[in-house]
Structure 1
């Protein structure tokens, strides 16, 4: 009987795969032939900032693949831990182990270098986040401490909300609140400049993915094994949980697709999945276009509710027609 059940499940799996729509529109741009270690879209999706395998930092125009600005190689303090482009594309922030370099993109000029430390004297920078108005900067450290810097007043508050490296940070739209996620499995909401959490969620394993919806109402969090939750950003209440047949899935990147009820996630390998996040239903998993083995998605951009654009570690921009899944 168990063999018959297994065969039945296998048949259903084949039917599901056979009926799965193809949503990729293909690779639209190749930004670089060098592998990308870190990469982010600008808020409007027109630019990308990358750290490549040659330890070079470039800002690209995604439409024609031209380089808008490159950080001079002799000004890059290696190893680079993070690169961050402001929402208005005026400011580029580069993080070394203990130093933040702030560049003016229009002037292509270094504005300032600012050192940051953790509680441990050996701590180094592990993550960055900049508020939408460019006034507040979060600098997370790998000892679990966090710097909350006000770029206008030049004041910095440091506290230690985690016991392991903080790898995920996200502001709300106002810049008054933010969430953290770390290797200790803890996710928490904070008010800027306050060391008291507004809520906390303790996961069993390290947090591997964290993202906030465009309207600031929802928060998606995944741990390193089998807990993937959609939360209400303000209250922390769990709204749904992703459901799948596999024993576990690894979630590396995630993005809410605005006004569609859909969530996109990427794996640690070359896979992209789409979900209905209110029900947790998986609509399908697709392989991204790659040139090298092990390439994966490094960032996503949603230009409209019908479309998703991915940037992968091979430097490729790929467009996805997620509106095909609307009636699925």
Structure 2
């Protein structure tokens, strides 16, 4: 990936998007951006789940979890190959095919509520993190399932490798684990000083990201489990809603619940750029959650937010 412009650490961040599309008229409950930056899936407050190609004015598909009832989908994840999408409310999850627009399956959870979901390439494996601390790995084609019981408290964030072989999870027990979906065995353990609120796997298998609710947000070597860098910021706490590594492995892009996106150096943890998305018009105070972030192939930055907006932003190179 080539990122074009110049930015020094003291520059005023650009907060005017290059382009913007309203993908949910009354705001959104959840959204995700495909790793290739081509697709946005947004769960709207009043218009169900819509699949968009970035830059197009009409959605590819409109999906409904509960038939014609109220949309309660609060979690969305697109597979790394952008071929499958998994969506969930608190009690059930669904797998969808992007190529056909059809549902592949719909499953209900008997115990505890769903906290986070993720899907592997080809839809071959689905992770479901729950409020009782358990994580289910499920293969729709074979019906094989295992439960990961490493966490002792509520799950906050999970991610899955593109091939479905590895899972990263973080919870209220101050721990993050990289573990095998074949065996359920822990590969690496990451200790934090407060509850782990966000985790992410680099799709190329180079890095892992774990962040807690206070001051510690770290990038790790996925192979060795050793730290690569710690994100450098002054605030006493920084909560992340999404995290995406660039394809060249040089950058980490994050979203937050306070309208902001940040670009970080993977090697040093230095903050390189900051953007502020538009607020949700009906919110008081005027704020917006950045649900999803991403990169286009030329380094252009993408965001999708609770305001129901998908935006593109000028590319940057420190």
TM value normalised by structure 2: 0.85
1:12 paired residue number: none
2:5 paired residue number: none
Q: What per-residue deviation string (whole Å, max 9, x for no partner) do you get for residues 23-75 of structure 1?
A: 75433322232211100123432221111122622112322231221124626
The runs of 5 or more residues in structure 2 that have no matched partner are 1-7
**Bigger Rg, which one:** 1
Matched, 1:51 2:40: no
Q: 1:128-147 residue pairs with structure 2 within 5 A? A: 128-147=117-136
- SS of residue matched to 1:44: coil
1:40 paired residue number: 32
Matched, 1:196 2:185: yes
Cα separation, partners in 2 of 1:157 and 1:245, compared to 1, 3 Å? closer
1:238 paired residue number: 227
CA RMSD of superposed structures (Å): 2.6
Displacement of 1:193: 3.2
- SS of residue matched to 1:322: coil
Which one has a larger percent helix, Structure 1 or Structure 2? 1
Between the aligned partners of 1:185 and 1:113, the Cα distance in structure 2 is 32
Cα separation, partners in 2 of 1:246 and 1:79, compared to 1, 3 Å? closer
Q: What per-residue deviation string (whole Å, max 9, x for no partner) do you get for residues 64-113 of structure 1?
A: 23122112462668643423344555544332333333344555444433
Between the aligned partners of 2:102 and 2:163, the Cα distance in structure 1 is 28
1:307 paired residue number: 300
Cα separation, partners in 2 of 1:151 and 1:290, compared to 1, 3 Å? same
> How many residues are aligned here?
306
1:96 paired residue number: 89
1:61 paired residue number: 53
Cα separation, partners in 2 of 1:270 and 1:135, compared to 1, 3 Å? same
TM value normalised by structure 1: 0.83
The runs of 5 or more residues in structure 1 that have no matched partner are 1-14
- SS of residue matched to 1:133: helix
Displacement of 1:265: 2.2
Residue among 234, 251, 255 paired with 1:266: 255
1:83 paired residue number: 76
Matched, 1:206 2:195: yes
Between the aligned partners of 1:276 and 1:83, the Cα distance in structure 2 is 27
Between the aligned partners of 2:233 and 2:103, the Cα distance in structure 1 is 48
